């Protein structure tokens, strides 16, 4: 029996290399290249028949021979299909990744001749433009339904899976602000790999008892109908359950439906209570530092979003999928249908978010804080550079923000506004006014001022050398440098960027501003109360802007919509653990931002590699094809390089699916050598092309067809000339 099991594993789509070498730790078991060959042969035997034992003995006898047959054939024949793994190639690349983790050397030059022959075998079809554009990233997600049987019956997982399967289809990654304004779509697509299950009854019981105990001991609030519950009470229980998963395969979404409680409640995310002058925004969700998030359907209802007008509001009514339990009773199918919409929204906004900008990979990342201050009495409250740096460096030390050999450095520079004429010019030119009407005793027209961030960006870009001299900024020869300009003005009026923002991110810089005014009422509301903006506190806005400009991380309320061909705004996920948006006060990063920061580098590099390879293939097609352009020895190396390039891209995408960003970076870096080799081959071959004139013999004169045409034409003329005799009426003769 053990022989049969081993035979099944040998023909598993993971390939022979997994038998000969140790598997990668933490990889889930699903594999899109799985081959059902032996499963079909195994199931074709009727084990309940009288001849089952005889069949089994025959199988064990023949299997022993078949076990040795692939090992012998592997030395004689290469892989026969493009989808099957090439025997030995995984082992070779794994060994190369250990010896050369930065992929500084070209692995093709070290390939054994047997593997090179396998890569050029006629049955292994080279990748085409269509195959390069069909690369797909599988995103594994586990949805856990937490609640009693009355909340989630046993049929809930299968029903929710069917709803999600029909709701979520594969789609491409998108960029909100691409380098080319017309190319928002990346070449790589993504698809959902879903697993829905019911949680253990002990988890539901533990959460319900903890929540009931806390609500019974907490008095009701006079300012809000919702009792404030610290998110940590629930989060520490869910985190313990998440840590029991070993290995952690993908991202976990916990959906809580613990039944009715004695009091209405919502979760608070920072210590302290509301005050008449300061309202804290409560919510019903939390995203952890590890790859899990939870949603409490019984909490709330909460509402937040634009107060007067705008997109992305989360209403208090029952029609939003986050408040599906607050309203009229719903059937189980209706409830699970709303939950599928909720999971789809989380998948789109949090798990496969749009890139804010494309971010090419650089080994050195430098953030330059340029503090332009007006008053000699510097106030560090709300602008603690060390706190901002610590937010990022803590993630770097936990290996959650950088890739490979990347380094991150922060440098601080100061410029006095009185000594910087160009700074004063930028401020004066960027001030713009707007009017608004307010109803007091009667309608009153109020004129307010703000700073135009785009105008400031243009003037700072044009005067970059002057800013560099005033701040004594050094020349950085290598790496990506992000200047952060903070204008600390000594005025008592409110000056925000573009009317609403304290900090604005651009592709090449960040601009922030603050005045002596401490707070202002924003145009947003949360749970029926206006949200106040603390205009002196710039630490959290700067963290969000640096994430956008340096790593291309999109805010949690923005996503590119190809159907609308514009940016779609949704504030559903902008509370709790996020450094973006007006409703959160937390500066630390969740797994959403950390994964997006590293994935964006890889997606940008992968998209560049694919598009560059497609350009080469189109150039070859324009020259008549690879066999006409390349000589025999060049063509063989070209096919080998191209197949190896595609193989490494597949391995990089597989590593991305398992959140192994380091291995994905290795395969992308290694594929760059093959891409360069392909470019070199095509370039040298095109240089050797010579214009030639090929003479050919004129075809013989078509005497037969001409003679036949002349005969037919003569017959027509003859009949026409003799028409009176041939077609005369005989009755006229009498």
Which segments in the chain show pLDDT lower than 50? 1-83, 732-734
Residues 405 and 311 in one domain: no
Is residue 344 within 8 Å of residue 143, measured between CB atoms?
no
Residues 171 and 301 in one domain: yes
pLDDT in tens, 554-586: 999 999 999 888 999 999 999 999 999 999 999
Beta bridge partners of 229: 267
Residues 343 and 383 in one domain: no
Sheet holding 519-526, edge to edge: 304-306, 519-526, 529-534
Give the C-alpha separation, 48 to 209, whole Å. 50
Give the C-alpha separation, 409 to 274, whole Å. 38
What value, to the nearest 5°, has the Cα angle with vertex 602 and ends 475 and 619?
Answer: 95
Residues 390 and 494 in one domain: yes
CA distances from 5 to 2, 293, 390, 619 (A): 5, 38, 52, 49
Tokens of 148: 């009693």
The secondary element (H helix, E strand) that includes residue 83 is none
Q: Is the dihedral of CA 556, 557, 562, 565 positive or negative?
A: negative
Give the C-alpha separation, 369 to 604, whole Å. 26
Tokens 């210590």 belong to 271
Q: Which of 324, 351, 378 is the last residue of a domain?
A: 351
List of residues 6+ apart from 680 with CB closer than 8 A: none
* CA terminus-to-terminus distance, the chain: 112
The secondary element (H helix, E strand) that includes residue 413 is strand 407-416
Is residue 675 within 8 Å of residue 613, measured between CB atoms?
yes
Query: Going by DSSP bridges, is the β-strand pair 185-198/171-174 parallel, antiparallel, or unpaired?
Result: antiparallel
Is residue 562 domain-resident?
A: no
Is residue 219 domain-resident?
A: yes
Give the C-alpha separation, 454 to 448, whole Å. 19
Dihedral in degrees, nearest 10, Cα atoms 578, 583, 587, 593: 20
Tokens of 236: 């520490």
Burial 640-675 (b: 16+ CB within 10 A, else e): bbbbbbbbbbbbbbbbbbbbbbebbbbbbbbbbbbb
Q: Which of 502, 527, 551 is the last residue of a domain?
A: 551
Residue 316 CA to chain centroid, in angstroms? 30
The secondary element (H helix, E strand) that includes residue 66 is helix 52-76
For residue 83, which of 30, 134, 16, 13 has the smallest C-alpha distance? 13
Residues 375 and 346 in one domain: no
Give the C-alpha separation, 413 to 422, whole Å. 16
pLDDT for 161 equals 94
Residues 383 and 510 in one domain: yes
Burial of 154 (0-12, 13-18, 19+ CB in 10 A): exposed
pLDDT for 179 equals 87
Is residue 470 domain-resident?
A: yes
Q: Which of 351, 379, 394 is the last residue of a domain?
A: 351
Is residue 643 domain-resident?
A: no
What 683-691 contacts at long range (C-beta under 8 Å, 24+ apart), as own/partner pairs, is 684/634, 685/629, 685/630, 685/631, 685/634, 686/619, 686/623, 686/629, 689/623, 689/629
Task: State the total domains in the chain.
Answer: 4
Chain length of the chain: 734
Give the C-alpha separation, 465 to 473, whole Å. 9
Tokens of 532: 């106040």
Give the C-alpha separation, 610 to 185, whole Å. 13
Residues 272 and 346 in one domain: yes
Burial 75-84 (b: 16+ CB within 10 A, else e): eeebbeebee
Burial of 61 (0-12, 13-18, 19+ CB in 10 A): exposed
Give the C-alpha separation, 617 to 127, whole Å. 9
pLDDT in tens, 591-621: 999 999 999 999 999 999 999 999 999 999 9
Residues 70 and 168 in one domain: no
Q: Is the dihedral of CA 83, 89, 90, 94 positive or negative?
A: negative
Q: Residue 428, preceding bond cis, omega within 30 degrees? A: no
Give the C-alpha separation, 518 to 503, whole Å. 16
Give the C-alpha separation, 118 to 526, whole Å. 62
Is residue 357 domain-resident?
A: no
pLDDT in tens, 26-39: 333 333 333 333 33
Residues 515 and 399 in one domain: yes
Residues 306 and 336 in one domain: yes
Give the C-alpha separation, 501 to 522, whole Å. 10
Residues 46 and 148 in one domain: no
Is residue 1 domain-resident?
A: yes
Is residue 347 within 8 Å of residue 450, measured between CB atoms?
no
Rg (CA), the chain: 34
Tokens 């047959």 belong to 69
Burial of 101 (0-12, 13-18, 19+ CB in 10 A): middle
Is residue 695 domain-resident?
A: no
Which letter does DSSP use for residue 120 in this model? Answer: T
Give the C-alpha separation, 241 to 15, whole Å. 34
SS3 198: strand
**How many CB atoms sit inside 10 A of residue 694's CB?**
4
For residue 335, which of 323, 317, 350, 348 has the smallest C-alpha distance? 323
Residues 182 and 306 in one domain: yes
Give the C-alpha separation, 85 to 80, whole Å. 9
Domain that holds residue 427: 364-551
**How many CB atoms sit inside 10 A of residue 34's CB?**
13
Is residue 576 domain-resident?
A: no
């Amino acid at each position: 029996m053990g022989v049969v099991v081993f035979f099944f594993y040998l023909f598993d789509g993971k390939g022979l290399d997994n038998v000969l070498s140790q598997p990668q730790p933490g990889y889930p078991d699903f594999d899109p290249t799985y081959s059902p060959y032996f499963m079909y042969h195994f199931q074709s035997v009727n084990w309940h028949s009288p001849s089952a034992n005889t069949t089994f003995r025959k199988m064990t006898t023949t299997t022993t021979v078949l076990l040795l047959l692939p090992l012998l054939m592997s030395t004689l024949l290469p892989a026969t299909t493009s989808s099957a793994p090439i025997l030995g190639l995984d082992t070779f690349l794994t060994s190369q990744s250990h010896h050369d983790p930065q992929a500084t050397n070209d692995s093709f030059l070290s390939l054994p001749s047997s593997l090179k022959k396998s890569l050029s075998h006629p049955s292994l079809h080279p990748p085409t433009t269509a195959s390069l554009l069909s690369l797909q990233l599988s995103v594994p997600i586990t949805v856990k339904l937490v609640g009693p049987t009355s909340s989630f019956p046993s049929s809930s997982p299968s029903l929710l899976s069917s709803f999600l399967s029909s709701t979520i289809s594969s789609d491409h990654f998108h960029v909100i602000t691409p380098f080319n304004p017309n190319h928002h779509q990346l070449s790589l697509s993504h698809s959902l790999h879903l697993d829905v299950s019911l949680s253990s009854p002990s988890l539901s019981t533990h959460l319900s008892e903890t929540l009931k105990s806390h609500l019974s001991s907490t008095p009701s609030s006079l300012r809000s109908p919702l009792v404030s519950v610290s998110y940590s009470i629930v989060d520490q229980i869910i985190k313990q359950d998440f840590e029991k998963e070993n290995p952690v395969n993908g991202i976990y979404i916990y959906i809580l439906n613990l039944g009715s409680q004695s009091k209405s409640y919502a979760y608070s995310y920072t210590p302290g209570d509301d005050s008449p002058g300061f309202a804290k925004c409560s919510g019903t969700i939390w995203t952890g530092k590890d790859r899990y998030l939870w949603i409490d359907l019984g909490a709330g209802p909460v509402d937040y979003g634009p107060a007067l007008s705008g997109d992305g509001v989360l209403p208090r009514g029952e029609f939003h999928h986050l408040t599906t339990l607050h309203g009229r009773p719903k059937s189980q199918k209706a409830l699970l249908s709303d939950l599928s919409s909720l999971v789809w929204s989380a998948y789109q906004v949090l798990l496969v978010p749009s890139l804010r900008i494309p971010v090419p990979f650089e080994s050195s990342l430098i953030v330059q804080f340029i503090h332009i201050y007006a008053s000699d009495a510097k106030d560090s409250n709300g602008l603690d550079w060390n706190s901002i740096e610590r937010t990022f460096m803590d993630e770097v030390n936990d290996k959650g923000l950088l890739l490979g050999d990347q380094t991150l450095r922060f440098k601080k520079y100061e410029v006095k506004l009185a000594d910087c004429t160009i700074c004063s010019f930028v401020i004066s030119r960027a001030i713009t006014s707007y009017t608004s009407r307010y109803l007091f005793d009667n309608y009153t027209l109020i004129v307010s001022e703000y700073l135009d961030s785009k105008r400031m960006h243009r003037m700072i870009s044009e005067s970059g050398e002057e800013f560099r001299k005033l701040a004594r900024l050094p020349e950085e020869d290598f790496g990506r440098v992000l200047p952060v300009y903070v204008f600390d003005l000594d005025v008592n009026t409110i000056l925000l960027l573009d009317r609403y923002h304290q900090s604005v991110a651009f592709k090449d810089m960040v601009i922030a501003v603050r005045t002596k005014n401490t707070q202002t009422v924003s145009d947003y509301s949360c749970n029926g109360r206006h949200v106040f903006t603390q205009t002196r506190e710039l630490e959290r806005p700067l963290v969000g802007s640096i994430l956008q400009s340096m790593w291309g991380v999109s805010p949690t309320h923005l996503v590119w919509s190809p159907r609308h061909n514009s940016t779609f705004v949704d504030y559903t996920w902008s509370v709790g653990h996020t450094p973006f948006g007006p409703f959160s006060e937390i500066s630390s990063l969740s797994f959403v931002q950390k994964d997006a920061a590293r994935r964006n580098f890889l997606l940008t590099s992968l998209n560049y590699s694919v598009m560059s390879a497609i350009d080469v293939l189109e150039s070859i097609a324009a020259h008549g094809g690879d066999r006409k352009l390349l000589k025999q020895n060049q063509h063989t190396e070209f096919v080998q390089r191209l197949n190896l390039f595609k193989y490494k891209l597949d391995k990089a995408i597989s590593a991305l699916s398992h959140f192994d960003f380091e291995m994905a970076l290795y395969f992308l870096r290694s594929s760059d050598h093959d891409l360069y080799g392909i470019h070199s081959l095509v370039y040298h071959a095109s240089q050797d092309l010579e214009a030639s004139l090929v003479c050919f013999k004129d075809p013989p004169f078509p005497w037969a067809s001409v003679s036949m045409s002349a005969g037919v034409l003569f017959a027509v003329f003859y009949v026409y000339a003799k028409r009176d005799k041939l077609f005369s009426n005989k009755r006229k003769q009498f």
